[in-house]
Each structure stands twice: as C-alpha cells, then as structure tokens.
C-alpha cells in the first residue's frame, strides 16, 4: 500500500473556483463599465437643467435635425433595400454571366468611407469635373445652357450613403436566401405560385429578419455619419453636435443633443435584437449543399449582369478610378515628409488600437467561456454595444468626464502645491484610444467569440486530462486554432480605426493628424485632388477586410 | 488488495438540482466498470468529477489512495494522471495523429522514446502508419481509436470514457466496444465507461453501476443486473419483461394468471400478501402442446425470431420469444410453458425505489 504522506508532491489548490469566479467577473465588469461611460455621461445630461443654448437649439434648428435625419433614414433605407435585396436575390438564385465575380465585387463599396465617396463625386460632378466638361464638349453647351443636378444636397447625401452601405443588406439578405431551403420555393411553385409571387410570398418574408438586421446596421451608420452630411451642408444630429460643441462651446447642450440621437439609435438596436431573435425561427430545417441555379433567357441574364454591375460601378469603380487619377496627378507634390508622418500616425494608432481591442476581446470572450453567468453575458453585451453608438456621441461622452478629471486634478494641485498638471487625459492619445475601444470593441469581440465558440469544450478537457494547465491550453490549443480569426479581428479593427473620422476630429491631440483627418481637411478646403492620396490609402486598406469577408463566405459554402 | 479508485459519498448539485446524490463505490485495478443510466441521470457529471472537471459538494475521491478531491480542495485534472476519451473524440484538428498521441507524453521522455510509444499505441489500435494523417482524414471509428490511443499514451492510472461510441454507427458500436475491451484488458487498464446503452455496457464492463436520478441504484455484474434487479426501476430498465400480479397462498406457492408458480418466497410475506412477479421473455417457452394457451395481441418479426405479446385473462400482457419458424397470426392462441429459473418479485403497489425481494 503506497504511503499517503510521501507521494503527493503536487500541491492541491485550495478551491480555485471561487477565486477564478471573482477575477473574471471583476475584470469583465470593469471593461463593461468603462465602455458604458460615454453613454452614461451623455444620458446624465438629460437631468441637467436646459441652458440657453438648448433653448435656442429647440427653437431654431432641432426640428431641422430631426426632419433631415428622418429624410436621410427613409432615403437610405429605400436605396440600400432596393440595391441590396435585388443583387442578393439575383446572385443567390440565378445563373448569369459574371455571377461568381459579382458575389464579392458587390461587397467592394464597403471599402469606401462615405465621406470619401462624397467628395469624390463632388469633384466628378463639379462644373469643371469630368462629367460636365465632357457633356459640354459633346453637346457644345456652355455655362448656364443646361441644368445639372446638384450633388451637395439631400438626394446626393442619400445616394452616397446608399452606395457604400447597401452591402450590409446584400450580405445578410444573401446569406438568408442561401440558407432557405430550395424546397420551400419548389413547394410554392408546385402550389401554383409563379416565380415573382414565390419571391414575394415565400423567399422575401423568410429573409425578412435578416434584411431588417442589415437595414438597422445601415441606419446606425447613417445616423453616425458626420463627414458626408457635413461636406454636403446638411444639418443633422452629428453636425449639430459638432456645431454646438465647437461653435457654441456648450458641452451640456451637445450632450443633450446626443441624447436625442441616442434615442433613435436605441430604437434601431431594439429592432436589430428583435429581428435577430426572429431569424432563428426562420432557419430552414435542412440545407442542401448545392442549390441548383435557375437559368435565365440570354436577354434576362444580361439584364441581371447589368443590375449587379450598376452598384459596383457607381459605388466603387468610378470613384476609385477618379481617386486614382487625382492621386497620379498630385502624388509627387503630396507624398512628402508630412504625408509620411500622417501615415505613421494612422498606422501606429490603428495598429495599437487593434491589438488592444484584441486583448480586451480575449479577456471578455474567455470570461464568458469559463464563467458563463448571466451577469458576464450581460456585461459582454454592454461592452460590445459601441458599434451602434455614433462616434460623435462617444467622443463627447468621453471628453466630458476626462476633462472634468483633468480640471479637478489641476485645480487641486494648483491650490495644494501650486503646480499645474495640464491636460493629462483629455486631448491625449489616451482619450482617442478609449473612444476607439468603445466604438470598435464589438468587432473584435464578435470575431473572437465566434472563433472560440467553434472550439468545443471537450477540446479543453482533453488537453487538461493530458496534463496541460489552463494557460497551456490557451497557448497550445486555442491560439493555433484561432490564429486566422485573431488576425481577422486585428485587421477589421485596424481598418475601422483607419477610416474613423468624427471621434478622431474631436479627441485627437492638438496638431495630431491622421490620413482620414487630412483627407477630410483638404476636401473641406476644396482641394479635392490633393486629398486623394490620403483617401486612396484608406480605401486600399479598406479593401483588405472586404477580401477577407468574401473568402470566409466562400469557405462557409463549401 | 487495496482498490485503485474510491468514491465516498459523492454529491453534486447545480443550484437546487441534485445531479449526483451520495454515490460511493470502489474499483479494483484492471477492472472495467460502466456507469449506466438514462440520459440526464448524472452519470456524465460523476465521470467528470472523477476527472476533475467538476467539483463535488461533498464526499471524497481517492485514486491509488491519494485524495484528489474532498470537501475543501480539489486536484486539477492535469495533475490526476487520468486519461479520458470524449464523446466527440476531441482530437486536436491542428495536429496530426502522431502529435495528437504524443501530446500527453511527459516532456522528460526523449524524442525516440516518444515516437516508439506512439507507434506502439498505433499498432495496438490497428492504425500503424497513420502518423502523418490529420484527424479529418480519418473515419469516425478510426478517430475513436486514435482518441483511445492518445488517452492511453501517458499510461494513466484510470481511463474514463464518456459515451465513446454514441457518435458512431450502430453496427460499428458493438464491434468497437469488444475491440476496446480487448485492448484495455490486454493493457490491464482500469477504466470507467459512461453510456445509456445496456448492450454497450454488457459488452464492455466487468461491473455495471446503474444510476437513476443521481443515485447509484445497483452496482453489480451484468448477469446479476439482469437476473437479480434490486428495484423495479432496474427490472424495467434492463432487458425486456413484464410484471404480473400474484398472491401468496402459502407453502412457497404463488397464484397468478399463469397458474401456480413455486419458488422461494421471502419470510416477511404472509399468506395473502400481494406480489408483482417479473416475467422475462426467457422465462417463457413456446410449446404448442401446452395446456396454457394465450392469445397473441402483438407480433414483432425480428429475423431469427418473433417477439409475441400475449394477453392474459386479466388483460395484463407478457412477452414470449419464439423461433421464426413458428409463424403465428394475431388473435391466434399459442401454447406456452413457464421455465422460471428464479423468482424476481416486488410487493404490489409500491414505489419503484422499494427494495426488492429476490430469490433464486
């Protein structure tokens, strides 16, 4: 009989469960709390007495903000739904020339930030731009002879936003169409409904939850847009918040405006949540591996090609060509040491934000995997809520408390020690990074969660039964299995930060410029061609995640 | 001889839900046992507690006389020297077969020794030469064997198998169960298998523990589990059979619808006490010449034999297996004789947990 005293050299851990529980809960809750700071700050201003500025705003411009925002929402909904659903249906059901290529080409407009496409079109449709010049040349017109649509208008902004945002609807609608069992459609046809009736009575209603999810994402982006509406001179909430903050210098009123905007957002979040829940019930029970593609007559097939070409042409090819042409004309002048500094700023900022977001996402996802309590799940939801909150609102919600901390500390140091601490938090890269985390954490959390969810728990158990401790399980099992997803998470946040404009404008340290800010500033000064190098760099970087996305979609199908 | 594994009064609850309820048993070295029970009975949780993935609320688990879990402390799974085979095999998809099998080998073991051990195991499970393959290139049965090889590689004190055959085809299951038993016996491995399939349990195990609602109902050999069920639940869960009512008329005789049956009746049963008798299909012999003729109410053709359900006068039914040459139609009457080797009876109108009265 073995001696009980001498053998067990391995120390038994005294109840590690309770300590783990606390460590995970505390850190996850802390992250959630920090992420909630901007929204809580902004909401806290609801209870502040309304100042003169607020009074002024409600009397004069508030109704404009609401009306313009609503008009934009309706217009963009119409535009993205039309383009998104048509292209999704065509590419998922029919055989036509170029179908395979269009599957991913249709995603390309996502690579263009709305503010960049907006000023590119402004340049293209200018009096001296290529379109009007050519028209004048062909028809022998001169100034004043003809009417030409003004792009810097409500319909212009609606078109610009629709062109770059429809891929959200396309992506989700297409996935829903592909998931639908072909049998449902065949059943409908066998019951006497024609192709069109089957689409409207069966396919479309079955895809409805997915389409609404896509649409709510589109509208969140629409409400969050600052660059486009500002450039086109349309007063919406985001431009109003900027004007109140910088022009009228009233942070309280800016926060109160943000609250009104957040109410719109809240409706959208609810809508998204509800439709995502519904989508579960709309899943087809059994999926065939390969759906037969329906044939079209040659004429109709080319019509399908045309329908898919249009969004890509207007949403990506034309503006991309225009930007490239400008860049070729101006790059010698524009690519100087300042441009290199800008690029470095952008890359280092985006890189560190992406890595930090990944680290936090790993923490949240692991917290959820190891301690899957209701509280942790709720905290993770809160922490990844930022994708819905306009960056302008996040920036204000961060600026206010940080400035307060800075001022309080500074005052205290002055009175106590007669030294000034200056701005420690606000107006530093810390504030900017904080905002990026709040806004983009959802992207990396979503990716990491999905990757981790695919690794079955039995995998962890197997590794531990073979002698690995939890840290070793992470390093030798999870990391290799998740490598691709972790890279994707980094890239997605990287590109999002690179494109980000409004929060960077508000929170960047004095004289600290990025590619996005520079492109925006040059365009605002009507130096459209000069802005193109910076803009083109952002667009090219933006193509990377689109390629990743289309690759992952292709992989899912096989 | 001291036992390899001891469980003493293990209980485990999730919230108010008592999943494992005061379970104790011992396992000798080289024994293969099986935890059998309907799904949700707590058998997997118990297995995971032995592995160290769950912490029991009360009780003590000892492996080779070392406490690995008690009320105040638990030893992490990686420090217990256990091997585990999972329901979904859990092979690491990013590692090839060789790396999977070498995964648990001690870092102190040198490279050639590791390779030697790996090849030895591959040969044992009949998959020599698949070192470079990846899990997805193997069939379900092959993955199963690799999972077994991986778990056995570090020579664990005890091997735990969590429903290891349930994701395989039915035809494959029994064959693999036999093969696995052979391998384990050859290596003198102590093992615990969890399953809900009694055929699997009978094919694999020396001892079977039947678990119901978190309680260990009977810990016995497969033979005894079938022939001497300790409770009504065991009698119902294991094998086929039916209960027929009877009354003790004294002199070790019981009057039933099938006539008077003689067998040893427990002392506490006085004349006139009501009993339920377990009648298994193998207690009944089809005999056309018998006086006892019963009507067929259901028939099930099973290839080599028929399973007939016969109706008694009282409306109760019993099961009878007849060779497939004896093709009778519904409503037809067939003759049977009783061949009750030993009586299994329970007092009437009792709950299923009441202790049984069993006699040979």
Domain final residue pick, B234, B263, B284? B234
Same domain, B83 and B155: yes
Q: Does B73 touch chain A (CB under 8 A)?
A: yes
Residue B56 pairs in a beta bridge with: none
Residue in chain B lying closest to A456 (CA): B90
pLDDT at A459 over 60: yes
Domain final residue pick, B214, B234, B254? B234
Q: Does B72 touch chain A (CB under 8 A)?
A: yes
Partner residue opposite B90 with nearest CB, options A7, A13, A459: A459
- Nearest-CA distance B78 → chain A (Å): 4
Beta-carbon contacts of residue B231 (< 8 Å; ≥ 6 apart): B217, B218, B346, B352, B353, B354, B355, B356
Which CATH number does the domain housing residue B41 bear? 3.40.50.300
- Nearest-CA distance A458 → chain B (Å): 6
Examine residue B359 and state whether it is found in any structural domain, yes or no: no
Q: How many structural domains is chain B composed of?
A: 2
Same domain, B124 and B246: no
Same domain, B230 and B284: no
pLDDT at A181 over 70: no
pLDDT at A408 over 50: yes
Name the band, by pLDDT with cuts 50, 70 and 90, for residue A447: confident
Strands B274-279 and B259-262: unpaired
Partner residue opposite A462 with nearest CB, options B66, B68, B84: B84
Examine residue B52 and state whether it is found in any structural domain, yes or no: yes
Partner residue opposite A2 with nearest CB, options B65, B92, B106: B65
Same domain, B277 and B225: no
Highest mean pLDDT among A337-346, A528-537, B41-50: B41-50
Instruction: Look at B66 and A17 and tell me if their CB atoms are within 8 Å.
Output: no
Could you tell me how many residues make up chain A?
A: 558
- Nearest-CA distance A30 → chain B (Å): 27
Interface probe, candidates A466, A477, A485, chain B, greatest B C-beta count within 10 A: A466
Instruction: Look at B90 and A17 and tell me if their CB atoms are within 8 Å.
Output: no
Instruction: Look at B90 and A456 and tell me if their CB atoms are within 8 Å.
Output: yes
User: What span, in angstroms and rounded, lies between the C-alpha atoms of A63 and A80?
Assistant: 25
Helices (H), A51-143: 52-60, 62-93, 99-105, 114-125, 130-139
* Residue A389: closest CA among A244, A492, A261, A532: A261
Structure tokens, B150: 């991986």
Examine residue B94 and state whether it is found in any structural domain, yes or no: yes
Phi, psi of B217 (to 5 degrees): -85, -40
Name the average pLDDT for chain B. Answer: 87
Name the average pLDDT for chain A. Answer: 83
Instruction: Look at A465 and B83 and tell me if their CB atoms are within 8 Å.
Output: yes
Same domain, B219 and B303: no
Domain final residue pick, B234, B254, B286? B234
Q: Does B65 touch chain A (CB under 8 A)?
A: yes
pTM greater than the 0.80 cutoff: no
Residue in chain B lying closest to A457 (CA): B90
Residue in chain B lying closest to A1 (CA): B2
- Tell me the count of A-B CB pairs closer than 8 A: 88
pLDDT per residue as tens digits for the range A470-512: 888 888 899 888 888 888 888 888 888 988 898 998 888 888 8
Examine residue B360 and state whether it is found in any structural domain, yes or no: no
Q: What is the CA radius of gyration of chain A?
A: 26
Same domain, B167 and B230: yes
Examine residue B222 and state whether it is found in any structural domain, yes or no: yes
**A-chain residues near B154 (CB < 8 A):** 466-467
**B-chain residues near A2 (CB < 8 A):** 64-66
pLDDT per residue as tens digits for the range B249-299: 888 888 888 888 887 777 777 888 888 888 888 888 888 888 888 889 999
pLDDT at A232 over 70: yes
- Nearest-CA distance B85 → chain A (Å): 8
Same domain, B247 and B324: yes
Same domain, B172 and B260: no
Helices (H), A225-370: 227-231, 237-242, 251-281, 298-312, 318-334, 337-370
User: What span, in angstroms and rounded, lies between the C-alpha atoms of A390 and A65?
Assistant: 15
Which CATH number does the domain housing residue B304 bear? 2.40.50.140
**A-chain residues near B72 (CB < 8 A):** 14-15
Same domain, B120 and B230: yes
Phi-psi region of A475 (alpha: psi -120 to 50; beta: other; left: phi over 0): alpha
Domain containing B27 equals 5-234
Q: Does B53 touch chain A (CB under 8 A)?
A: yes
**B-chain residues near A462 (CB < 8 A):** 84, 86, 90-92, 150
Examine residue B331 and state whether it is found in any structural domain, yes or no: yes
**B-chain residues near A463 (CB < 8 A):** 92, 103
- Nearest-CA distance A493 → chain B (Å): 26
**B-chain residues near A465 (CB < 8 A):** 51, 77-78, 80, 82-84, 104, 151, 160
Termini Cα distance of chain B: 30
Partner residue opposite A466 with nearest CB, options B65, B88, B103: B103
pLDDT per residue as tens digits for the range A414-425: 888 877 777 777
Query: Which one-letter DSSP state was computed for residue B282?
Result: G
Same domain, B9 and B150: yes
- ipTM surpasses cut 0.85: no
Same domain, B18 and B71: yes
DSSP B195-251: ES-HHHHHHH-SEEEEEETTEEEEEE-HHHHHHS-SSHHHHHHSS--EEEEEEEEET
Same domain, B247 and B218: no
- Nearest-CA distance A6 → chain B (Å): 10
Name the band, by pLDDT with cuts 50, 70 and 90, for residue A19: very low
The residues on A that touch B, with CB distances below 8 Å, are: 1-2, 4, 7-8, 10, 12-17, 456, 458-459, 461-469, 477, 480-481
User: What span, in angstroms and rounded, lies between the C-alpha atoms of A551 and B293?
Assistant: 73
- Nearest-CA distance B158 → chain A (Å): 11
pLDDT per residue as tens digits for the range B166-200: 878 887 888 888 888 999 999 899 999 999 988 88
Instruction: Look at A469 and B76 and tell me if their CB atoms are within 8 Å.
Output: yes
């Amino acid at each position: 009989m073995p001696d009980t005293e001498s053998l067990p050299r391995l120390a038994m851990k005294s109840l590690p469960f309770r300590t783990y529980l606390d460590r995970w809960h505390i850190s996850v809750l802390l992250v959630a709390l920090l992420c909630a700071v901007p929204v809580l700050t902004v909401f806290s201003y609801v209870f502040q007495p309304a100042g003169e500025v607020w009074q002024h705003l409600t009397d004069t411009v508030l109704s404009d903000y609401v009306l313009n925002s609503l008009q934009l929402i309706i217009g963009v909904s119409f535009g993205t739904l039309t383009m998104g659903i048509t292209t999704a249906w065509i590419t998922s059901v029919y055989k036509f020339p170029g179908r395979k290529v269009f599957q991913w080409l249709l995603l390309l407009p996502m690579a263009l930030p709305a503010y960049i496409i907006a000023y590119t079109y402004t340049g293209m449709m200018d009096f001296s731009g290529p379109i009007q010049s050519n028209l004048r040349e062909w028809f022998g017109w001169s100034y004043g002879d003809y009417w030409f649509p003004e792009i810097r208008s409500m319909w212009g902004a609606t078109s610009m936003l629709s062109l770059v945002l429809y891929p959200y609807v396309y992506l989700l609608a297409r996935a829903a169409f592909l998931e639908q069992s072909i049998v449902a459609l065949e059943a409908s046809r066998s019951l006497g409904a024609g192709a069109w009736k089957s689409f409207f009575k069966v396919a479309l209603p079955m895809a409805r939850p997915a389409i609404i999810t896509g649409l709510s994402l589109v509208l969140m982006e629409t409400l969050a847009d600052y660059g486009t509406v500002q450039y086109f001179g349309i007063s919406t909430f985001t431009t109003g918040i900027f004007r109140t903050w910088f022009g009228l210098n009233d942070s309280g009123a800016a926060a109160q405006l943000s609250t009104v905007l957040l109410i719109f957002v809240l409706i959208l979040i609810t809508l998204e949540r509800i439709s995502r829940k519904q989508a579960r019930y709309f899943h087809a029970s059994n999926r065939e591996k390969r759906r037969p593609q329906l044939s079209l007559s040659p004429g109709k097939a080319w019509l399908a090609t045309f329908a898919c070409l249009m969004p890509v042409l207007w949403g990506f090819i034309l503006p991309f060509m225009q930007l490239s042409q400008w860049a070729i004309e101006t790059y010698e002048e524009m690519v100087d040491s300042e441009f290199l500094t800008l690029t470095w700023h952008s890359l280092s900022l985006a890189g560190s934000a992406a890595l930090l977001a990944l680290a936090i996402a790993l923490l949240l996802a692991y917290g959820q995997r190891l301690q899957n309590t209701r509280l942790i799940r709720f905290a993770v939801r809160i922490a990844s809520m930022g994708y819905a909150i306009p960056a302008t609102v996040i920036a204000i919600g961060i600026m206010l408390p940080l400035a307060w901390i800075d001022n309080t500390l500074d005052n205290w140091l002055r009175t106590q020690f007669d030294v000034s601490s200056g701005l420690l938090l606000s107006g530093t890269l810390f504030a900017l990074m904080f905002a990026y985390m709040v806004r983009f954490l959802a992207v990396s959390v979503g990716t990491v969660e999905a990757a981790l969810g695919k690794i079955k728990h039995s995998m962890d158990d197997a590794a531990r039964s073979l002698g690995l401790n939890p840290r070793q399980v992470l390093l030798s099992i999870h990391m290799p299995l998740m490598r691709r997803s972790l890279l994707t998470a980094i890239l997605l946040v990287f590109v999002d930060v690179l494109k980000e404009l409004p929060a960077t404008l508000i929170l960047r340290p004095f004289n600290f410029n990025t590619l996005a800010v520079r492109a925006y500033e040059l365009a605002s000064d009507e130096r459209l061609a000069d802005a193109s190098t910076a803009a083109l760099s952002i667009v090219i970087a933006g193509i990377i995640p689109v390629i990743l996305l289309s690759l992952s979609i292709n992989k899912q199908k096989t | 001889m001291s036992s390899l594994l001891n469980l003493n009064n293990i209980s485990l609850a999730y919230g108010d839900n008592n999943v494992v309820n005061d379970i104790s048993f011992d396992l000798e070295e080289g024994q293969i046992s099986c935890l059998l029970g309907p799904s949700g009975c707590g058998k997997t949780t118990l297995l995971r507690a032995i592995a160290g993935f769950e912490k029991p609320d009360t009780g003590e688990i000892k492996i080779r006389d070392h406490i690995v879990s008690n009320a105040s402390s638990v030893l992490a799974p990686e420090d217990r020297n256990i091997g585990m085979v999972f329901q979904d095999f859990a092979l690491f998809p990013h590692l090839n077969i060789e790396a999977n099998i070498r995964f648990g080998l001690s870092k102190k073991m040198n490279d050639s020794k590791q390779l030697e051990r790996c090849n030895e195991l591959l040969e044992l499970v009949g998959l020599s030469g698949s070192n470079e393959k990846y899990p997805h290139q193997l069939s379900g049965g092959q993955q199963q064997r690799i999972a077994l090889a991986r778990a056995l590689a570090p020579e664990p004190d005890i091997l735990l198998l969590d429903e290891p055959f349930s994701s395989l085809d039915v035809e494959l299951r029994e064959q693999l169960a036999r093969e696995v038993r052979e391998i384990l016996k050859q290596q003198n491995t102590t093992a615990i298998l969890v399953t809900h399939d009694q055929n699997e349990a009978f094919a694999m195990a020396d001892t079977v523990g039947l678990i119901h609602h978190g309680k260990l109902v009977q810990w016995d050999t497969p033979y005894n589990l079938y022939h001497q069920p300790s409770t009504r639940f065991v009698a119902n869960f294991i094998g086929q059979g039916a209960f027929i009512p009877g009354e003790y008329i004294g002199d070790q005789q019981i009057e039933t619808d099938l006539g008077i049956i003689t067998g040893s009746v427990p002392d506490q049963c006085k004349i006139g006490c009501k009993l339920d008798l377990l009648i298994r299909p193998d207690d009944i012999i089809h005999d056309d010449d018998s006086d006892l003729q019963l009507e067929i109410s259901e028939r099930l053709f099973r290839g080599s034999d028929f399973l007939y359900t016969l109706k008694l006068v009282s409306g109760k039914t019993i099961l009878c297996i007849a060779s497939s040459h004896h093709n009778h139609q519904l409503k037809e009457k067939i003759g049977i004789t009783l061949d009750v080797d030993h009586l299994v009876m329970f007092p009437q109108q009792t709950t299923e947990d009441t202790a049984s009265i069993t006699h040979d």
